[in-house]
Structure 1
Amino acid sequence: MSEGNGVNEDNANYCRDFDTVASEEQRWIEARRLAAGVDPEQPITGVAFSGGGIRSACFQLGILQGLSESGWLNKVDYLSSVSGGGYMAGCYQWLKHRGEGAHQLFSAPVLNWLRAHAAYLVSGKGVTNATLGAGILASSLFSLLVMLPILLAGFWVAGLPHSRFLWPAHWHLPGGEVIEGHSGYLLMLFASLACFGFYLLSIPTMALWRAGRRGDLTHLFAPRKFMGRLLELAIALALVGSLPMVAQLDDALLALAASENLAGLGKHLDYAIPFITGSLAIAKGRFNPKIAFLGLTLMLYGLAAFAYHLVFHIRVVDHPAFWAVFAFSLLLASLASVNRTSMHSYYLAQLAQAFFYTGKPEIDDMPLSDIAPETGAPLPLVNTTLSTLNSKRPLAHSRMGESFTLTPLYSGCPATGFARTADFQSGRLTLGEAITTSGAAVDPGTAQTSNRALSILLTLINFRLGFWVQHPRRAGDHFGRMPFWLIFKELFAKGMQENASSLHLSDGGHFENLGVYELLRRECPLIIASDAGADPNLQLSDLGLLLQRAHADFGCEVHLNTVNLLSAEQGLSADCFALGHIRYPSGRRGRLLYVKSVLTRQSSTQVICFSKVDPSFPNDGLINQFFDERHLDAYRELGRENIRMALKALESELAVRQHTHAETVESAQAV
């Protein structure tokens, strides 16, 4: 294999380095400018739409409208989007692909359609809150149908009497006897004690070993890492191995209680106590992550105890029907698609119906690779996050995610390489799937759900919006469905890294929520960033994270004056934007216009009045994805007003710079 020119000669649909991607994007932009009648010498302009669900989509609608009215929309070469910003970016691309002009996006039929579908999760003919609830329930039940029999079979196998000498015939405990034939669980307890013993033994051993070492600091870290793993393993083995002990709570209560009814209740306390205690801990600790983690852990332990109860008390495995269901579960895990059996497919259908305007109650979509420069539309960069939970690269592992971009030309990231999108996923990746994946905010195994107990719970109930894709290097290979058994990777947090044959993608905001990161990678001379993230305290946390990662990953220096933006009195900022400068590592210079969804002293009466009606405006939480037309128009108008004010400042600076440049040229000529 030769990759000297960035192309894998064994696979013409795959390239390793970003330079090849950048070159093709440059040619795409040149063709777009020719079709749109844009000056080919004009500096490349990129617009970024942030995440924020329907709140961001409505604000970005106003941004598009303001760009169009100010004569800037036709100049945009890149349209980078994240999550909710992608809803409206996708809507714009959809209309341009259908041959509609920019004015069509702001026509009465399209705006009224968007108003009618502002509560997009439950909008559409025959779609109600019950439909959404039924979809969530169906996903959860399917997951339980596949996973529960397999997990129960695992509990049963662990209890087989493999070696009778490991388990005495009777262990006399208060109130009863541990059931004979649980060598697997006893072995886990013995292994737990052994791990803990090795942990204790490693303390003096490490001290003695360190005494003879000098000059090599590796030995300071490796033993501690080993000790930490030993302790984690000891705790995990003890929790699972103790299930037979916990299961005897019912017999203990039977011996202590005179009441038969109380003893009957005790039959369920072995799993109910940790589950109920965990639920109470979650309720009390919803604002305390440590207490919530403890509660979730107890809940999961209660579920494990319940599974043990089903296997060894109810004896479900003794019924032939169980093994028939088990075989059916294995078949489903191999044949069913992990992407189609989660809420991802429901989310996709609702987004496509709401934002891909057809004027009819039908749902349509299009291949992402079909977006062509001849429409004059900007090149879309749909930002997602590649899960790197198990990456061996330290920084990727600590971040738990990496930027993974989907475009009509290439899909991928530097860590995986890039596949031609026309051949990626056998060419079946659609615009709808791209923006749905970019908006997959609820998903186990991300930095936002790094709580392992929460991730396990979300996986078990199949409450997930993420998307599994083939590795870019496999582009052009026959691509079938992603089997459901991939969900076990999420459950056990294994195989989630950049070199796996199947990759897991989720919300782009899990890595960077403004959509500016990839524009900085491309060293855009002018970037207009629209931030519609909820930020009631004006902390600008998304902007801060972007600046940190841009400097750490690309060496970009961004100087931005946010004083007027942060100067707010009675909830009204002095400015809604900040204008700054970028210094790229190549020596190139750029400009960044940062526009924020804040109320200002110049905001219109319509916007101010709505803020009095809805005090959370313009910072509605992500949980509110059920807007009405007043919400949509308030955010749309705010976006329209803010971008117009920001563009005036940008145009003034550009005019001053052009005038200064002209004077410099004249002076040089005079000399």
Structure 2
Amino acid sequence: MVKARNTASTWREVLQQPGESVFGADFIEAYGDRSWEPVDADSAAAHSLHVELISRIATQALGYSDGVEDRALTSVFELFGRARAITEKNPGCVTFETVIWYVLNSRVRPFTAKWHPKSVAGALRALDSSDEFRAGLVGVQAALVELDKVLQLIRTQPGYVVDQQGRPGQDAIDNEMATPVNWRPMGTNVAGDVLAGFSALERSAVEQRRTRYNLDPERGWAAGLALSGGGIRSATFSMGVMVSLAKRNLLPQFDYLSSVSGGGYAASFLTQLLGATNVPPKFSLLGTDLPFTRDEGESLMLRRIRHGASYLSGSFVERLAVAMAQAQGVFINMLVLGLIAAFFGYADFMLGQRIPRDTARQAALWSPVLLAVIFLAIPLIQKIRGPSPRAQTWMALLGIVFLLPILWVILGAAHSGWRPLVDWVSSLRTLLPDQTPDVSTISTWLTVLGSLSAGAGALLTIFSKGRPVLLTVFMALFFVSLEVLSVDFYMTLDTQAVFVFVGIIVVAAYLWFVLDVNVISLHGYYRGKLAASFLIDPSREVAVPIRLSDFDPASALFPIVNCALNVPGSKRAVMRGRLSDLFSFTPVATGAPVLGYNSTRDWEKANPNLDLATAMALSGAAVSPQMGLGTTRYASFWLTLLNLRLGLWLRKPGSKASGPGVRHLLQELTATANERGAFVNVSDGGHIENLGVYELLRRRCRYIVAVDGESDPKMTFHALTNLQRLAYIDFGIVLELNLDDLRLGQTGYSRSHFQFCRIIYPAGHQDSKEEIGYLIYLKLSLTGNEGEFLRRYKLDEPAFPHQSTADQFFSESQFEAYRALGEHVGEKLFLPAITGPLGRDVDLEDWFNRIGRSLLDPRAAATGDGPAAAL
């Protein structure tokens, strides 16, 4: 027999609570006047379901990156089966039955009915697409937690109380994120350091902006926004992300805007618009002001950027002018190479008249024997005279003497092998109009060389894996061909050859003293097109690019424009494997670690054309003979020869040297530029670090948002892992990365658009312990939950969102696809499932803390493996 419990309470008195309750007015209306009289069967049933609830995800907080949504849905759905079995096992559990089935049917069933078909369709595969699911799950969990409290009332013996206040280890995460990171403007806070003056100026500029936007000007930490390289694709994607940040008034709270290449287009747009003097009213970084505020349509400022998406397009006249300028550059580069070949050819011609080839052949055959004798004699000489400080020089000269006969024989073989081709070319002269023999020979030879070059290009396309070898062979053949051609020409002229040689010397001298290799490059055209499209002045049709030294820091983020300093010919050991260094422009200082830093104003005095447009174009000078980490001598030769040169030679501050001239062109041709001369070669920042985060790490930013818009169709994260390597080698900084949710799944989509990473700053001589910063890494990616426009665009353009960077002619739909994706990805940073409810004015520190609570796991105790283990 079931025994009733003694109670005088009604269900209304037990279950009705102030505020929102799982037991709504309809339930209280129907059951509120009943006496609260649970029996033993109710107690047993309540105990069984209580165990189910506390052991399932049904009442446990689910971190944003924890667990699997499909399994969470299944766990909640299984409660129906377990409640049914418990009810059947405990006949007479009327109180339990009434309470449990009301909650399951009114609160849980609508949730499972909605999400079960979506789960079957795969809607929960994307991490951020499950935001709505997780938000609904939070509501269900709250109802079940309240239900569990009622179950404990039914069984009258309180047990385990569910705690939904946070994830395991939450206190440790909160304590960690409360630890300060000391800001280091210009990368140093050491008193008396050579950079201390620049550091103070940079700090002052940042504090002016903080004051303007009512932030604490003396807060000890800094935050930076980094926009990666990737051409117009990255610029457009970054613009979409910034729109999302501006909506919540987060942009003014960042201190730095560090950019590379394409990201620099968007960054320079903001710098020009808000960093010029006399910024118009209602122009600021606030979401309620221009350029980000919307009226009935898109902001007029952003619309002008949209119209400049195909920035390299031009009229027929403009294209013709560019083609002719390019032709001039190719002609001059070819002429310089031809003059060098002609010089060697004249030496070959004169020696050929005086030294028989057979004599040289005999010398080449005997030279190894002679060399062996000299090698054996060297130890005796060293024993008698002692080690010589000039031993290396003498050995180099010995090598030259040894190689000369061999080279002479090779050239002789080239002349012999070339004779059939010379005869064939001579026969082609009969097909040409009546000209002087010499002119027709030269014209025909150039035609043949052009045909051979076209054939070489075809071979390079077919045999791409052997490209380095083929290019090197073609480079040698090309130069030898010019040399043999010049010798043949001298032989035709015979005694008059000396006059041609004198003419060659005169032309070479003219080019040496007159030629400016910056003028014949494509940099000027590229700079002009970028400036016209991305640098905007609200008061005039065409903006006048500001000088960085004239930057007004009150309204804009402090800009860092990142480039690569090409020094493949450097003698410094640190540069041998890297071939380049990070070169940065800021309003305060410009330079690179291998060079040192000078005032930006001094750099501008040394280079009168250096302004924001020039810095932006240099940061995006992707096509250059010397390309940082990717510099190769064979590629440098051909890129220089074809005048594919967007980089620039900058004069060092204080230098009075003229140029840059032929000597610098030869350094590009042979990939031997260095930091020792009066000029330095600067190109795309992506040639060494394509994220733009390096300089923010140097300054020990506590919070960094990095927008990665580079082309990465296989999601290998080259830019981020390259940064990870450079940061550890140069600064001892460790980036703790886990990129699993960004990798492509079986469906070809990622699970998430971003990752939250720790930055471990090492303890220095001024630090008692290591400091921890945080990086939000936003990746150009698709998760499958994008809107219909993006889904349709993906069907039309399967390569989206990683279309080639070579495509710089964006259509309106292409621009909108990347912009919309950027805003979509930016919005995912504010998912309620991650941050909880946020208003329109978001505090940056609180925002990072909320994301950290959702995504970080407590740090493991330090091990003997050291920080390099994170690499």
TM range (shorter): 0.7 to 0.9
Distance in 2, Cα, partners of 1:48 & 1:135? 35
Counterpart AA for 2:698: R
Distance in 1, Cα, partners of 2:338 & 2:499? 13
Q: How does 1:226-265 map to 2 (within 5 A)?
A: 238=406, 242-249=410-417, 251=419, 261=427
Q: 2:350 is matched with which residue? A: 161
Which deviations, in whole Å up to 9, do the C-alpha atoms of 1:271-306 show, x marking residues without a partner? 859767744542332243344334533553454346
In the TM superposition, residue 489 of structure 1 has moved relative to its aligned partner by: 2.1
Counterpart AA for 1:442: V
Distance in 1, Cα, partners of 2:507 & 2:483? 24
Q: Report the 3-state secondary structure (helix = DSSP H, G, I; strand = E; otherwise coil) of the residue aligned with 2:464.
A: coil
Counterpart selection for 2:694 from 493, 517, 525: 517
Q: 1:283 to 1:299 in 2, by over 3 A?
A: farther
Distance in 1, Cα, partners of 2:222 & 2:826? 19
Which deviations, in whole Å up to 9, do the C-alpha atoms of 1:8-50 show, x marking residues without a partner? xxxxxxx984454334322221122122322322731111111
Counterpart AA for 1:292: L
Query: Retained in 2: the 8 A contact 1:275–1:302?
Result: no
Q: How does 1:169-318 map to 2 (within 5 A)?
A: 171=357, 238=406, 242-249=410-417, 251=419, 261=427, 278-279=456-457, 281-301=459-479, 303-305=481-483, 307-308=485-486, 311-312=489-490, 315=493, 318=497
Q: 1:372 is matched with which residue? A: 552
Which deviations, in whole Å up to 9, do the C-alpha atoms of 1:189-241 show, x marking residues without a partner? 899778866887799999x99xx9xxxxxxxxxx9999999989977985576
Q: 1:603 is matched with which residue? A: 786
Q: How does 1:637-656 map to 2 (within 5 A)?
A: 637-648=820-831, 649=834, 654-655=849-850
Q: Report the 3-state secondary structure (helix = DSSP H, G, I; strand = E; otherwise coil) of the residue aligned with 2:577.
A: helix
Query: Retained in 1: the 8 A contact 2:260–2:692?
Result: yes
In the TM superposition, residue 389 of structure 1 has moved relative to its aligned partner by: 0.9
Q: How does 1:16-35 map to 2 (within 5 A)?
A: 17-35=194-212
Counterpart AA for 1:296: F
Q: 2:244 is matched with which residue? A: 66
Counterpart AA for 1:288: G
Q: Please, which moves more after superposition, 547-556 or 60-69? A: 60-69
Counterpart selection for 2:330 from 121, 140, 152: 140
Which deviations, in whole Å up to 9, do the C-alpha atoms of 1:538-557 show, x marking residues without a partner? 11111111101111111011
Q: Report the 3-state secondary structure (helix = DSSP H, G, I; strand = E; otherwise coil) of the residue aligned with 1:547.
A: helix
Which deviations, in whole Å up to 9, do the C-alpha atoms of 1:625-661 show, x marking residues without a partner? 11112111111111111122135547655137799xx
Counterpart selection for 2:760 from 566, 580, 583: 583
Q: 2:811 is matched with which residue? A: 628
Q: 2:8 is matched with which residue? A: none
Gaps (5+ residues) in structure 1? 1-6, 8-14, 173-185, 213-222, 660-671
In the TM superposition, residue 86 of structure 1 has moved relative to its aligned partner by: 0.8
Distance in 1, Cα, partners of 2:238 & 2:397? 47
Q: 2:743 is matched with which residue? A: 566
Q: Report the 3-state secondary structure (helix = DSSP H, G, I; strand = E; otherwise coil) of the residue aligned with 1:568.
A: coil
Q: 1:156 to 1:44 in 2, by over 3 A?
A: same
Distance in 2, Cα, partners of 1:27 & 1:519? 17
Counterpart AA for 2:613: G
Counterpart AA for 1:56: S
Query: Retained in 2: the 8 A contact 1:62–1:637?
Result: yes
Q: 2:313 is matched with which residue? A: 122
In the TM superposition, residue 109 of structure 1 has moved relative to its aligned partner by: 3.0
In the TM superposition, residue 507 of structure 1 has moved relative to its aligned partner by: 1.0
Counterpart AA for 1:369: S
Counterpart AA for 1:588: E
Which deviations, in whole Å up to 9, do the C-alpha atoms of 1:244-289 show, x marking residues without a partner? 442334545799x9x9949989x87998597677445423322433
Counterpart AA for 1:654: N
Gaps (5+ residues) in structure 2? 1-185, 187-191, 293-297, 384-390, 432-440, 764-769, 836-845, 855-871
Distance in 2, Cα, partners of 1:20 & 1:384? 23
Q: 2:56 is matched with which residue? A: none
Distance in 1, Cα, partners of 2:270 & 2:691? 18
Counterpart AA for 2:800: F
Q: Report the 3-state secondary structure (helix = DSSP H, G, I; strand = E; otherwise coil) of the residue aligned with 1:122.
A: coil
Query: Retained in 2: the 8 A contact 1:426–1:479?
Result: no
Q: How does 1:520-559 map to 2 (within 5 A)?
A: 520-559=697-736
Distance in 1, Cα, partners of 2:678 & 2:829? 45
Q: 1:470 to 1:24 in 2, by over 3 A?
A: same
Query: Retained in 2: the 8 A contact 1:280–1:295?
Result: no
Query: Retained in 2: the 8 A contact 1:551–1:557?
Result: yes
1:613 correspondence with 2:814: no
Q: 2:222 is matched with which residue? A: 44
In the TM superposition, residue 453 of structure 1 has moved relative to its aligned partner by: 2.3
In the TM superposition, residue 152 of structure 1 has moved relative to its aligned partner by: 4.7
Q: 1:508 is matched with which residue? A: 685
In the TM superposition, residue 593 of structure 1 has moved relative to its aligned partner by: 0.6
1:104 correspondence with 2:312: no
Q: Report the 3-state secondary structure (helix = DSSP H, G, I; strand = E; otherwise coil) of the residue aligned with 1:552.
A: helix
In the TM superposition, residue 461 of structure 1 has moved relative to its aligned partner by: 2.9
Distance in 1, Cα, partners of 2:729 & 2:812? 42
Distance in 2, Cα, partners of 1:501 & 1:122? 36
Instruction: State the structure with more CA Rg.
Output: 2
Counterpart selection for 1:410 from 589, 607, 616: 589
Distance in 2, Cα, partners of 1:237 & 1:438? 46
Q: Report the 3-state secondary structure (helix = DSSP H, G, I; strand = E; otherwise coil) of the residue aligned with 2:350.
A: coil
TM-score, scaled to structure 1: 0.79
Counterpart selection for 1:337 from 516, 519, 523: 516
Q: 1:243 to 1:90 in 2, by over 3 A?
A: same
Query: Retained in 2: the 8 A contact 1:281–1:294?
Result: no
Q: 1:668 is matched with which residue? A: none
Counterpart AA for 2:304: W
Counterpart AA for 2:782: L
In the TM superposition, residue 160 of structure 1 has moved relative to its aligned partner by: 5.6
Q: How does 1:348-427 map to 2 (within 5 A)?
A: 348-358=527-537, 362=542, 364-374=544-554, 376-426=555-605
1:150 correspondence with 2:345: no
Query: Retained in 1: the 8 A contact 2:222–2:700?
Result: no
Counterpart AA for 1:596: K
Q: 1:437 is matched with which residue? A: 618
In the TM superposition, residue 528 of structure 1 has moved relative to its aligned partner by: 0.7
Q: 2:136 is matched with which residue? A: none
Q: 1:18 to 1:260 in 2, by over 3 A?
A: closer
Distance in 2, Cα, partners of 1:366 & 1:233? 56
Counterpart AA for 1:60: S
In the TM superposition, residue 452 of structure 1 has moved relative to its aligned partner by: 1.7
Distance in 2, Cα, partners of 1:97 & 1:500? 33
1:487 correspondence with 2:627: no
Distance in 2, Cα, partners of 1:314 & 1:522? 66
Distance in 2, Cα, partners of 1:276 & 1:554? 47
Query: Retained in 1: the 8 A contact 2:631–2:671?
Result: no
Distance in 1, Cα, partners of 2:789 & 2:547? 39
Aligned length: 608
Query: Retained in 2: the 8 A contact 1:286–1:292?
Result: no
Q: Report the 3-state secondary structure (helix = DSSP H, G, I; strand = E; otherwise coil) of the residue aligned with 2:234.
A: helix
Distance in 1, Cα, partners of 2:362 & 2:193? 49
Query: Retained in 2: the 8 A contact 1:607–1:638?
Result: yes
Q: 1:342 to 1:65 in 2, by over 3 A?
A: same
